Amino acid sequence: MLGTDLDADEFRAMIRGFLRAAPRPTGLRNYGPTPTADDVEPGRIWHKYLLEHGYACLHWPVVHGGSDAPVLAQAIFAEECAYADVPRQLAMTGIDLVGPVLIEYGSTEQQARYLEPLRTGDHIWTQLFSEPGAGSDLAAVRTKAAQTSNGWRVDGQKVWSSGAISAKYGLLLARTGTESHRGLSMFIVPMAAEGVRVEPIVQIDGESKFNEVFLDGVELAADALIGKIGQGWNIAMLTLGRERLTLGTQAVGMFKRHERMVDAACSRGRLDPVLARSMTRIWARMWLLRFTWQRAVADGDLSSPAFSVLKLMTSETDRDLGDLATDVLGTDVCTDPSTEQDGAELVHAMLVGRAQTILGGTSEIQRNILGERVLKLPKEPR
């Protein structure tokens, strides 16, 4: 178990040495928080290797197979995985979001049934929260769960569900009452249940990590409910914020892309004073973000307003860095990002960088949070 007296430098050196020596499964790549269908098998092998050496589910309590690691240790491990260019686990949704929900709100039976295969990487989960009319505004969820004599009947539609095509189960936020927040409840949905249909969404970068999920008269048992009726909003809030720990890994990725962009600009003879100035400015922003993240993580408080600032500024810095690909590549920016052509990696970074300001809470939502909850400004008219 990792204690609060953790020596950060010693722990970092240990993790770095472990990852450097670790064997890489064939086909493994750093796919980020969500594997594509092709990433699942090598990702699962890698996850089991981490598990075997005690580096899976670091934040879980020891009684559930974790290490009860402090925030700093979790952050260092995530950052070192980014440096090593490997995923830190099979998938984020199950380990980081569903696990803590079941540990906090799940029944003894639910914990016994779902936690272990989740911890070992045998089961992938997806998050069924966002809807076509309720993306960042979860209180507007319309998918309905109606009680029946045997349990629940679910009807509705979800969208942007990460990894749903490969998932065994889904964590579903559905409406069980008319009240905005208190009318929401949380359920476990077997993705192979009759009435569940998953349609992959092809992204602008050519990948299909997101999906639409249609729920047409899906019958759930009574024990599919997590917690109590009407606790869905509180449970959903527990799932938010775990991604804050990965902001440091995003910064690592930006530094790597910045270096590649400079190399590409030099090799193409495009690093003129104007582009060099832009590169220098964004480099300085990246270092400021990194130092802010280190201070926030050292404090160990995931509810700190610093993380809302970091989410906003990291997303927009990542977008701006990606946009520099147009200046670096010129007309080659039209390269297909899914190919092995020169410049394709930078084109991919440009396309994905734009998405960073949307996923995990849009920049507009982050500004509302900072204005209303941190600066105590008057609420936006709704």
Q: Which residues, other chains included, contact 280 with Cβ-Cβ below 8 Å and sequence gap of 6+?
A: none
Looking at the structure, tell me whether residues 63 and 138 fall in a common domain.
no
Q: Domain check: are 130 and 223 in the same one? A: yes
**Domain count of the fold of the chain:** 3
Write down which residue in 205, 231, 257 finishes a domain. Answer: 231
Q: Is 243 a catalytic residue?
A: yes
Catalytic residue among 109, 243, 259, 316: 243
Q: Do 129 and 227 reside in the same domain of the chain?
A: yes
Is 47 part of a structural domain of the chain? Answer: yes
Domain boundary among 189, 207, 231: 231
Is position 115 within any domain? no
More confident residue, 308 or 149: 149
Residue 222 and residue 339 share a domain:
no
Query: Are residue 246 and residue 368 in the same domain, yes or no?
Result: yes
Q: When comparing pLDDT for 368 and 166, which is higher? A: 166
| Reported confidence tier of residue 363, pLDDT bands at 50, 70, 90 | confident
- If asked whether residues 49 and 133 sit together in one domain, one would say no
| Among candidate residues 69, 90, 111, the one where a domain is terminated | 90
Cα 351 from chain centre: 17
Residues 208-244: tens digit of each pLDDT: 899 999 999 999 999 999 999 999 999 998 887 666 6
> Percent of the chain, pLDDT > 90?
66
- Find out whether 124 and 166 touch, Cβ atoms under 8 Å: yes
Do 227 and 246 reside in the same domain of the chain? no
Does 281 score more than 80 pLDDT? yes
CATH (domain of 149): 2.40.110.10
Q: Is residue 149 part of a domain?
A: yes
Residues 278 and 159 in one domain: no
pLDDT tens, residue by residue, 193-202: 999 999 999 9
Q: Is residue 97 part of a domain?
A: no
Domain region containing 83: 8-90
CB of 70 closer than 8 Å to CB of 6: yes
Q: What angle do CA 122, 125, 128 make, to 5 degrees?
A: 170
pLDDT tens per residue, range 328-361: 999 888 888 877 788 888 998 898 888 888 877 7
Q: State mean pLDDT over 2-31.
A: 90
Residues 280 and 354 in one domain: yes
What is the overall mean pLDDT for the chain? 91
Decide: 252 and 82 in contact? Cβ < 8 Å. Answer: yes
pLDDT at 71: 85
Q: In whole angstroms, give the CA distance from residue 367 to residue 348.
A: 27
Are 175 and 203 within one domain?
yes
Residues 79 and 131 in one domain: no
pLDDT in tens, 255-280: 999 999 999 999 999 999 999 999 99
Whether 56 and 133 map to the same domain: the answer is: no
Nearest-CA neighbor of 95 among 63, 136, 64, 73? 64
Q: pLDDT per residue over 128-183, tens digit each?
A: 999 998 877 788 999 999 999 999 999 999 999 999 999 999 999 999 999 999 99
- Residue 191 has what pLDDT? 98
The pairing of strands 196-201 and 169-175 is unpaired
DSSP helix/strand/coil, 212? strand
The predicted structure's pLDDT at residue 143: 98
- Is 382 a member of any domain? no
